[in-house]
Amino acid sequence: MLLSKRIAVELNIAGCKLKQYTAAMLKQQNVDLTPEQFLVIDLLWNTGPLSQQEIADQMHKDKNSITKLVDAIERKGLVVRQQNPADRRSNTIVLTELAEGFKDDAKSRGISILDKMLTGIPEDELYSFLDTLKKLCDNMV
């Protein structure tokens, strides 16, 4: 198999496994969020309120996917939509007190999940892998 095809296949498999692994680990740690829902909440913890379009842009997803994610997170009482006074067609997504209340615990659980996934891989290899992933992403612009 061509090297480029092998790399594409392995990246796809790794992406699928990452979602499955993090979903299972979040469930095991009693975090009632999918990996993508967790990423939206974490993004809002890090940046503060954002429009749905800003979330879509930062997560490299289409706005319809973000709408579904925000709907699900809103049903869990973790975010609310606030209409943008400058543009009534736009909503700003704001974390609720419930989401803010479990921020530190959830972040530490998320980090422990990722740390477990990286167990046994030397730090220099991780930095090299990160550099390679960045180059791949830069080539796909």
pTM of the model: 0.87
Write out pLDDT tens, residues 1-23: 799 999 999 999 999 999 999 99
Which contiguous run of DSSP H or E holds residue 127? helix 123-139
Rounded to whole angstroms, the Cα distance separating 113 from 110 reads: 5
Rounded to whole angstroms, the Cα distance separating 17 from 78 reads: 27
User: Counting beta carbons within 10 angstroms of the beta carbon of residue 34, is it exposed (0 to 12), middle (13 to 18) or buried (19 or more)?
Assistant: middle
pLDDT in tens, the chain (141 residues): 799 999 999 999 999 999 999 999 999 988 889 999 999 999 999 999 999 999 999 999 998 999 999 999 999 999 999 988 777 788 899 999 999 998 999 899 889 999 999 999 999 999 999 999 999 999 998
Listing DSSP states for 2-61 in one string gives -HHHHHHHHHHHHHHHHHHHHHHHHHHTT--S-HHHHHHHHHHHHH--EEHHHHHHHHT-
CATH architecture of 32-106: Orthogonal Bundle (1.10)
Q: What are the residue ranges spanned by the domains of the chain?
A: 1-30, 32-106
pLDDT the model gives residue 11: 94
pLDDT the model gives residue 86: 79
- Whether 38 and 73 have beta carbons less than 8 Å apart is answered as no
Rounded to whole angstroms, the Cα distance separating 82 from 85 reads: 9
Nearest to 79, CA basis, from 67, 71, 68, 87 = 71
List beta partners, residue 83.
Answer: 91
- Supply 39's token pair: 């990423």
